[in-house]
Every structure is written in C-alpha cells, then in structure tokens.
Amino acid sequence: MDSDILHLWSLNRIELIILNLALIAPVILYCITKISHYNEILPTKKGKAFSYLVFILFGTAYALISYMFLMPYIAFPIGVLVLFLMLKACYHISLMQGLFFANDFILIPLLAGSITVNLSSVIFAKPLSMIPEYWVVFEPVFAFIVASAISYYLYRKKIIFEHWHTFIENNKHLNGIIAVQSYFILICVVITIIYDKEVTIWFSVVSLMLLIGSVVVYLILIDYVVRVSSISIYEKDKQILEEQLKLQMSNYNNQIEYVQEVRKFKHDFVPLLSTVNALIKQGKTAEAATLLEQAENIKTTYFNSYQEFSNNLFIQAIMNNAYHESLNKNIKLSGKILFPNELVIEDIDLCRIFTNLIKNAMEACAYIDENKRIEIEGHAKNNWFVLTVSNSFDGKVNMQDGKIITRKKDKVKHSFGLHILLETVEKYGGFVKTNWTEEMWYTKVYLPF
C-alpha cells in the first residue's frame, strides 16, 4: 500500500484526475449492482432512490480516500463501520444483518483487488514491487469491475430473491457467515500488508491460489447457506400449512354430511310434491300447508347457500365452502367438475390442489374492482383428468428472468402454496400449465389415470 501511495504522488495533476475518474466509474457500477440487490430484499427507510444516492456518494468518497491515504489495517475496519452506518441509515435491519451486509459489501472488491494485484505479478513474472507503475495504479479499477461481475452473477442470477428473506432472518446462519467473512477479510489485510515487503513471485502465486480459493469457497458457502435457510423455513411453514390443511379436512368432512343432506332432500322433493298434491285432492289443505312449510324451512336452510359443482362428494364440499367465501368477496364462482372414478387420489391431496388453485384465483380477483369471476371446469379426456381454473385479473404480469413472480410482499409464503400444488400434482405424474389474456388467467392441471 505504501508503494501504491508513492506511485500516486508521483503522478501529475491531470494524471491524478484521470485516475480518479477511472476509479469512480467502476465504484459507482459496483454500488448500483449491490444496492439494486439490497433494495429488493431489505425494507428501505427513505426510499430506494435515497439508498442509491447515499451509497454512490459516500461509497465513492470512501473508495478514493482509503485507496490514496489509508493503510489497509485502518481502511478495512473503517470501511466496515462506515458501510454499517450507511446500511442502518437506509434500511430497517438488525445489528447482525448490518454486519453481514457491510462485510459482504467490502469483501468482494477486497478479494477481487487482491487477486488482481497477485495475478499481475504472475503475468509480468516479477515481484509486486517491480510491476509497472501504470498497472498498479489502475488495479482498483479492474478490481471493482470484477467485483461487480461477481456480485451480479451471484445475487442477481444465481440465488433466488425469495431465498434471501429466509436467510437474513436466521441469526444462526448469519453468525456463521459473518465469522467466515471476517476470516477472509483478515487474509486480504495480511496479504496486502505484505505487499510492501520485498517478496518473491512465489508469494504472489501462493497468494493468488489462496485468494481464488477464498472467492470460490465464499460464493459456494453463501449459495449453500441461503438455500439451506430457505429449505428449513420452507419445511417449517409447510408443516404449519399441513396442520391448517388437516383442520380444513375436518371442515370439509362436515360439509360432506351437509352435501349428503341436500342431495337427499332433492331426491325426496318430487315424492313430497306428490304427497302434497294428494293431500290437497283429499281436502286436507292444512296438512298439505304444514308439509310445504316444513319443506320451505329445509330449502331455506340448505338451498340458499348451496350450489352443485361436482359428482365427487369431497370436491363438492371444497367447492361449496369456496362458494360461501366468493359471495362475501363479491366474486361470481361457477363450474362443473366431473371427476373420473378411475382416478384414485387421496382426499388430502385433492384438498391441496383445489384449495391452492382457488386461493390463487381469489387473490388475483382482489386486484380488480368489478366483474370478478372464477370458473372451474373438470373433465376426463384421453385417460387424463383436465382441471381448468379461469379467473379474471388486472392483466399485469411480473416477469423476472423469464419466470412469473408474485406481486405480493410476502413472496416466500406465496411460493409455499405454489410449491405444494406442484409437488402434489407431480406426485401423481401430472403437470400444470398457465396462460393468460388481457383480462383472464388460466391454470390447467393435468392428472393421468
């Protein structure tokens, strides 16, 4: 670092300005890459624009000052502290989350910079102290460009955003990663301090291998821990959803009794009318009136909140429950589901499929103010049971990397329901397809039998 500073002070004013401009551009690029990721996963205090402004201004200023004037054992701790304060000023985060993101922000360019310097020594086949001056001066420019590329690949492409929410809420995993980050930062500080000594090219070769290994280990570790956190939270929430599903199953079993009573009444209704007609012909109008009054009471109790949807008792119970909910939400729910007897599916899996499909359709209807409707059709075709759910929506579809993503704030909880639906359908060898128009969304479930 001392030799770098001597190189800098040997430059004239114009060369120094050019150096500053050359360094500012990749620093800004890196800041934008990182903050675009942070803005996706962290709740902001004063808006996303404020976060970009703070990090670009203070991040650039710190990068220039630390590179020109500060020793590494001073610059890096100060950098972590400054970044931590900036993060706390921009986002609603805990102490451990602040330390993780501060270390993360400074570690990647630090590793990239150390790799660039040692790689230069290997390329020129000279000790660090004998590398051409212009190359050493522009080392941080290349470092920040490489750091931006690594960050973009890891955080914008490699790891799904939803997984980060589960990871940053897991303090145990955060503590472990912070310890690893601190270890890698210490390695970089030690290597950087030794830069000022008269070291051989073999030192650069060993350092380069160690640093590249550190980058690989860090990227793999982050990817692994984030996914493990997501899986653990997924399993926990899935268990909660399964408990809720069991309660729904109990409710649907009660609904089945209700459905059976309605169908029994419908079956007995024609003979009842014949009896009433016979009583009237016999002049027994009082008895006929009493019988009709009883029939009306039964009709009021059952028929006003009942619609026939399916030949399958359990599906009918689910649909009738959904029909009650749709009335409260001003949604017109209709459909006819002819379930083939040849298709053997456990009731709990039918519950998983239908409840998730209906829930998603009702949530889509919530984005529009009028003409809310859901139509559910099911029929057998060529040894496949085809279930089609059509629902109105506002025509807005969020896409990311060619995939549809939810507009709900709690993306993780929403994805659980979708995963359960897909897992259940695939369990029986089926698959799910979706398409849409400007006003309607269509989800099709295919199940073989």
235 and 372, same domain (yes or no) = no
Average pLDDT over residues 79-104: 85
Domain boundary among 239, 267, 287: 239
Tens-place pLDDT, residues 239-256:
656 666 665 666 666 566
Q: For residue 37, with 0-12 CB atoms within 10 Å meaning exposed, 13-18 middle and 19 or more buried, which class applies?
A: buried
Whether 232 and 312 share a structural domain: no
Residue 11 located in a structural domain: yes
Last residue of a domain, one of 191, 208, 239: 239
Residue 31 lies in a domain: yes
Q: What is the Cα–Cα distance from 339 to 316, expressed in whole angstroms? A: 10
User: Over 80: is that where the pLDDT of 6 sits?
Assistant: no
* Separation of alpha carbons 133 and 117, rounded Å: 12
CA distance 446 to 340: 13
* SS3 label, residue 416: helix
Alpha helix (H) ranges present in 285-389? 285-302, 313-328, 347-365
Distance CA 371, CA 392 (A): 8
Instruction: Tell whether 316 and 213 lie within a shared domain.
Output: no
Model pLDDT, residue 105: 84
The model's pLDDT over 266-303, given as tens digits with 9 standing for 90+, comes to 655 556 666 666 667 777 777 777 766 666 665 555 55
Same domain? 203 vs 314: no
pLDDT at residue 426 in the model? 92
Residues 197 and 73 in one domain: yes
291 occurs within a structural domain = no
For 171-184, the pLDDT digits (tens) are 777 888 888 888 88
Q: Do 213 and 329 fall within a single domain?
A: no
CA 385 distance to own-chain centroid = 31
pTM of the model: 0.53
The strand order across the sheet containing 431-436 reads 332-337, 373-381, 384-392, 440-448, 431-436
Phi-psi category of residue 133: left, alpha or beta, with phi > 0 → left and psi -120 to 50 → alpha: alpha
The range of the structural domain enclosing residue 343 comes to 307-448
Angle of helix 139-151 relative to helix 48-69, nearest 10 degrees, comes to: 150
Which CATH number belongs to the domain containing residue 317 in this structure? Answer: 3.30.565.10
Let me know if residue 277 belongs to a domain: no
Tell me the C-alpha distance between 10 and 5, whole Å.
Answer: 9
* pLDDT for res 66: 63
- Tell me the per-residue pLDDT of 117-130, one tens digit each, with 9 for 90 and over: 778 777 777 766 66
| The pLDDT of residue 420 | 79
Judgement on whether residues 12 and 90 belong to the same structural domain of the protein: yes
147 and 6 share one domain: yes
Q: Please, what is the average pLDDT of the chain? A: 76
Domain assignment present for 129: yes
Task: Give every CB contact of residue 197 below 8 A, 6+ residues apart in sequence.
Answer: none
Whether 233 and 313 map to the same domain: the answer is no
Residue 254 in any domain: the answer is no
Where does a domain end: 239, 257, 283? 239
- Specify the higher pLDDT residue, 397 or 20: 397
Q: Tell me how many domains the chain contains.
A: 2
Q: Is 278 within the bounds of a domain? A: no
- Through-space distance between the first and last CA atoms of the chain, rounded to whole angstroms: 71
Domain-located, residue 284: no
